[in-house]
Chains A and B, each alone.
Chain A
Amino acid sequence: MEDLKFIGQPITRIDGKEKVSGAAIYADDIDFGPNLLYAEIVESPHAHAIIKSIDFTDALKVDGVINVFTGKDFPYKFGLYMKDRYIFAQDRVRFVGEQVAAVVARCPKVAKRAAQLVKVEYELLPAVLDQMEAIKEGADLLHPDLGDYVHVPWFFPKAKTNIAHWRKIRKGDSDKAFKKADYVLEDTYNVPRYAHCAIETHVAIGKFDHSGRLTVWASSQSPFTQRHLFAEALAPLGITHKDIRVIAPHVGGGFGGKAGVTMEILSAALATKCKGNPVKIRWTREQEFYNTYQRLGVVCKLKIGIKKDGTITGLDHKIYWDAGAYVEYGANVVNAVGLSAIGPYRIPNVTIDSVCIYTNLPPGGAYRGFGYSEFLFGLESHMNRIAKHLNMDPIEFRKLNAIKEGDTLAYGAHMNPNGLFDAINKVKAEIDWDKELKSKNPDKVLGKGFSLFWKAPAMPPNASSSAFLKFNEDASLNILVSGMDIGQGYLTVMAQIAAEVLSVPPHKIRVENPDTDRNPYEWQTVASHITWSCGNAVKKAALDAKDQIFKLIERTHYLHYDMLYLEDEKVKCKTKPDFALPLKDFVINGIQVEDGTFKGGPIIARGVFMPEFSSTNADPETSQGGHPNVHYTVGAAALILEIDKMTGKMKVLKAVEAIDCGKALNPDLVKGQLTGGLLQGLATVLYEDMRYNDKGKLLNPNFTDYKLPTSMDIPDEIVPIIIEVPQPDGPYGARGMGEHTMLPAAPMIANAVENALGVRITSMPITAEKVCMAVLSKK
């Protein structure tokens, strides 16, 4: 085992002081001077309509209005995985809140007032608000031209329907497996839509200067992907990648909501029509709710067959996604779940249909967990119900079927090394699972809930990371990477990796959020893959620097390369104990040799990582043959729930969550993800959901009506448990864990409610009201 000095240590965040002193600059904090313009967006009040005409003559008359723009000014499509969106609506609107026009003015108040004077005439179309209606024969079509849309090769849209993508798995024969099973449990689970609710709303400022240079400052998880999508969409204007620069300062939370491209393209496009003037858009909290991505709603029809001894024989999982008006990102959530909806189990016969369905609701997209929370609610509820039927302990039943390294996955590849059993056993012990629970308060009951979870990064097979590393005169370092620190502590961990290789302490290393002009390529900060992927790139860059250093020492000091090592910011030699050359003596200015000349020069290094084993080439009818997922991160969790029998009010007394992150590069930050993610997960099951009226209008787009947990709503006790079964291709064995922490929350609550009260709730959220009603209806 390597002796590690910085890896595995609870190092304090390298951005901590900036954030706690008020020095940290977020997108909305940047000053742009007196030339700054503000854009106010005119939005569709209808869920589905044809735009007959737009009259903005009155708006133009308002003093201070620079101009008004509509879809006619930007007839360009964009999208991450499927080009199904326009910058502004063209002839038709497909959700309430869709951008129809923009009023640009010197003052935000003037822009707002003038936007109310824009008259849009609509012809209403029937709105399709329910995905189960949208897939019926004869349903109104949202995208009549779906068959012509450009998309990635692993999507399978069905032209002339509302089905944008259909991921199918066929492994073995699930029908036969159900016939042979001793017991088959079939039920439907419903999960509504959710909002990310980063406390910082989306902000983007675009500036197109007189030389044809487009700069966008954005609160973003995806600066390079945004640059690429801007370049694709704005190509007709003659703008290329090298003309576009995306600068991403600190981000006030992402959770998937600031991945890909949503409103940022409005600032980019409007700027091209307002040369020389930066154009700013900051979403209000309301807009943040209805015009960014939302977590997709879902109906899961789940069927599992079991033998008397508890072995699972087969699974049929039909998953119908309410993906919204545009699915350019959301369809990949559907795809990811289609590949993984067996959960962390060994199941020989599998049928999965994960169906991406257009509806006249806001676009669905990435949200922490990327679809796994949604299907795990049903799957992990099902596992408990089956165990109950078999009269088995739910944990023992899971252990009987839990996946192990080398087991065949639903798509034919094999499971990576993992510590699932270790996680199960540690959680079981910590929560004291076998102990009988009884509340001392006669009005309250206690219940125990348990859940497994797993998730793989969902990303294109060639998603890559890269890093530049440069030394300064005092042997401090700057590392240039393009992942985003969205709070998870990524920049700190990158510093720790380079520190470990180069023996330079992390607090002598500066790593900042990127500028696409200066920093090397990174796909996006999503999928909990950045520690693994960019961590590999940074490690390679550090090794490259070390190689350059040793080669220089070898040729100037005539010491053998293999005998050299780094320690305490010095080069040392195993065969020459008195040799200790400080890095600061030569990493910029080189080393002087006998004749008075200098050798070397600034040490500048690079590292690149791409998962070269990944592939999406597979049979579309069965999904067999490819290697679409790089690895899975697994874990287990349990909680004790106290329920008030009279009101249904619930309180988590203790929660335990164990996750196998391969190697906790910074255990403090891993635990931070765990406590934060767990509460976000509990929020989705206990408090939150998005409510729409029958016209497709969101009824609760604010924090008064969409309830986020406060400091008063946290579990009494949280015990985070770190499991470390190394990921063979991860930096120091690390694999991602940021999103996963929220995955077990909802099924744990459902299972605890059942344990306490004997009622099974199959739709989220599980509010006090719902629990109370379930108890009353049982009486």
Chain B
Amino acid sequence: MSKIHIILNGERRSLHVEPNDILLDVIRDKMGAKSPKCGCDRGDCGACTIFLNGKSVKSCNILAIEADEQEIVTLEGLSENGLTKLQEKFINMNSFQCGFCAPGITIAATELLNHNPNPTLDDVKEALSGNLCRCTGYTPILDAIMSCKK
């Protein structure tokens, strides 16, 4: 076991991890943030997408020990000071169905809008291409993101 520190949603926390502990498991089981989900365990589905130092990453592909002293934001952190405009749009446009992919997609879409406030539809499709959704056919999700354009 090694002692590491992770800044999770603005709070610096210390914890003990095994060298082979996966970041996703540690965030969920040792730190209690449950919004990142496990859908495939190999980086295919994107349900575990989080912000690592401001960049979206798939937390099932990262060892917890690599995140020592790094800053992580999950959907819980994003929602902390009220919902974002994008989240409001997702709700009002009934974008999600089962909702399991919503945390990952929200992170990926937030990253896109942070860097490119005026994306084209093709930009949005490409930004979400690493996040699988089986319910919606993507259209209502894309519509909501497009409606956030500046």
CB-contacts of B55-110 with A (<8 A): 74-76, 78-79, 83, 87, 90-92, 94-103, 106
* Closest residue on chain B to residue A31 by CB atoms: B32
Question: What is the bound-complex CA distance between A770 and B140, given in angstroms?
Answer: 31
Expressed in whole angstroms, the minimum distance between the Cβ of A343 and any Cβ of chain B is 25
**Given A25-B34, A28-B38, residue A20 in contact with residue B129 (CB < 8 A):** no
CB neighbours of B139 from chain A (8 A): 675, 714, 718
Task: Determine which residue in A284, A487, A668, A680 has the highest number of CB atoms from chain B within 10 A of its CB, and name it.
Answer: A487
CB neighbours of A1 from chain B (8 A): none
A253 close to B90 (CB less than 8 A): no
Q: Is A201 an interface residue (CB 8 A)?
A: yes
A199 close to B47 (CB less than 8 A): yes
Expressed in whole angstroms, the minimum distance between the Cβ of B137 and any Cβ of chain A is 4
CB neighbours of A284 from chain B (8 A): 41
Q: Is B5 an interface residue (CB 8 A)?
A: no
CB neighbours of B49 from chain A (8 A): none
* Closest residue on chain A to residue B25 by CB atoms: A108
* Closest residue on chain B to residue A219 by CB atoms: B100
Q: Is A441 an interface residue (CB 8 A)?
A: no
Q: Is A15 an interface residue (CB 8 A)?
A: yes
Stretch from A66-74, A83-91, A124-132, A702-710 forming part of the interface with B: A702-710
A252 close to B100 (CB less than 8 A): yes
Question: What is the bound-complex CA distance between A677 and B34, given in angstroms?
Answer: 28
CB-contacts of B1-47 with A (<8 A): 28, 32, 34-35, 37-42, 44-45, 47
Of A13, A31, A487, the contact of B135 (CB 8 Å cutoff): A487
Q: Is A250 an interface residue (CB 8 A)?
A: yes
B132 close to A672 (CB less than 8 A): no
Question: What is the bound-complex CA distance between A710 and B128, given in angstroms?
Answer: 8
Q: Is B133 an interface residue (CB 8 A)?
A: yes
Question: What is the bound-complex CA distance between A712 and B139, given in angstroms?
Answer: 11
Expressed in whole angstroms, the minimum distance between the Cβ of A353 and any Cβ of chain B is 33
| A191-208 contact mask (Cβ, 8 Å, vs B): 1 or 0 | 000001111110000000
A680 close to B97 (CB less than 8 A): no
By secondary structure, the B interface counts as loop
CB neighbours of A31 from chain B (8 A): 32
Of A12, A21, A199, A679, the contact of B83 (CB 8 Å cutoff): A21
A20 close to B135 (CB less than 8 A): no
CB neighbours of A495 from chain B (8 A): none
Expressed in whole angstroms, the minimum distance between the Cβ of A282 and any Cβ of chain B is 8
Of B44, B45, B131, B136, the contact of A676 (CB 8 Å cutoff): B136
Of B39, B76, B132, B133, the contact of A22 (CB 8 Å cutoff): B76
Q: Is A324 an interface residue (CB 8 A)?
A: no
Question: What is the bound-complex CA distance between A469 and B131, given in angstroms?
Answer: 39
| A250-286 contact mask (Cβ, 8 Å, vs B): 1 or 0 | 1111110000000000000000000000000010110
Q: Is A488 an interface residue (CB 8 A)?
A: yes
Question: What is the bound-complex CA distance between A720 and B36, given in angstroms?
Answer: 32
CB neighbours of A282 from chain B (8 A): 38
B135 close to A676 (CB less than 8 A): yes
B40 close to A285 (CB less than 8 A): yes
CB neighbours of A13 from chain B (8 A): 91, 94
CB neighbours of B47 from chain A (8 A): 199-200
* Closest residue on chain A to residue B92 by CB atoms: A12
CB neighbours of A702 from chain B (8 A): 40, 42, 44
CB neighbours of B92 from chain A (8 A): 12
* Closest residue on chain A to residue B124 by CB atoms: A711
CB neighbours of B129 from chain A (8 A): 710-712
| A206-219 contact mask (Cβ, 8 Å, vs B): 1 or 0 | 00000000000000
* Closest residue on chain B to residue A486 by CB atoms: B98
CB-contacts of B116-130 with A (<8 A): 124-126, 128-130
B97 close to A489 (CB less than 8 A): yes
Expressed in whole angstroms, the minimum distance between the Cβ of A33 and any Cβ of chain B is 12
Of B32, B38, B94, the contact of A668 (CB 8 Å cutoff): B94
Question: What is the bound-complex CA distance between A16 and B92, given in angstroms?
Answer: 8
| A20-56 contact mask (Cβ, 8 Å, vs B): 1 or 0 | 1111111011010000000000000000000000000
Q: Is B142 an interface residue (CB 8 A)?
A: yes
Question: What is the bound-complex CA distance between A675 and B78, given in angstroms?
Answer: 28
A711 close to B45 (CB less than 8 A): no
Q: Is A334 an interface residue (CB 8 A)?
A: no
Q: Is A678 an interface residue (CB 8 A)?
A: yes
Q: Is B115 an interface residue (CB 8 A)?
A: no
CB neighbours of A712 from chain B (8 A): 125-126, 129
Q: Is A176 an interface residue (CB 8 A)?
A: no
Q: Is A555 an interface residue (CB 8 A)?
A: no
CB neighbours of A242 from chain B (8 A): none
**Given A199-B100, A200-B100, A253-B134, residue A711 in contact with residue B41 (CB < 8 A):** no
CB neighbours of B103 from chain A (8 A): 22
**Given A284-B41, A704-B44, residue A487 in contact with residue B98 (CB < 8 A):** yes
Question: What is the bound-complex CA distance between A250 and B101, given in angstroms?
Answer: 13
| A315-329 contact mask (Cβ, 8 Å, vs B): 1 or 0 | 000000000000000
B96 close to A489 (CB less than 8 A): no
A200 close to B39 (CB less than 8 A): yes
Expressed in whole angstroms, the minimum distance between the Cβ of B47 and any Cβ of chain A is 6
* Closest residue on chain A to residue B38 by CB atoms: A28
**Given A22-B35, A199-B45, A718-B137, residue A487 in contact with residue B132 (CB < 8 A):** no
Taking Cβ atoms with an 8 Å cutoff, the residues of B that contact A are 28, 32, 34-35, 37-42, 44-45, 47, 74-76, 78-79, 83, 87, 90-92, 94-103, 106, 124-126, 128-142
Q: A201-B38, A680-B134, A710-B128 are in contact. List 7 more A-B contacts (CB 8 A).
A: A20-B83, A22-B76, A285-B42, A489-B94, A679-B138, A680-B137, A714-B137
Q: Which 5 residue pairs across A and B have the least CB separation, nearest first?
A: A19-B99, A252-B100, A487-B97, A22-B35, A487-B98
A-B contact pairs, 19 of them (CB 8 A): A12-B92, A12-B94, A17-B83, A17-B91, A20-B95, A21-B79, A28-B38, A199-B101, A199-B134, A200-B37, A200-B98, A672-B140, A675-B140, A677-B137, A703-B42, A711-B128, A711-B133, A712-B129, A714-B137
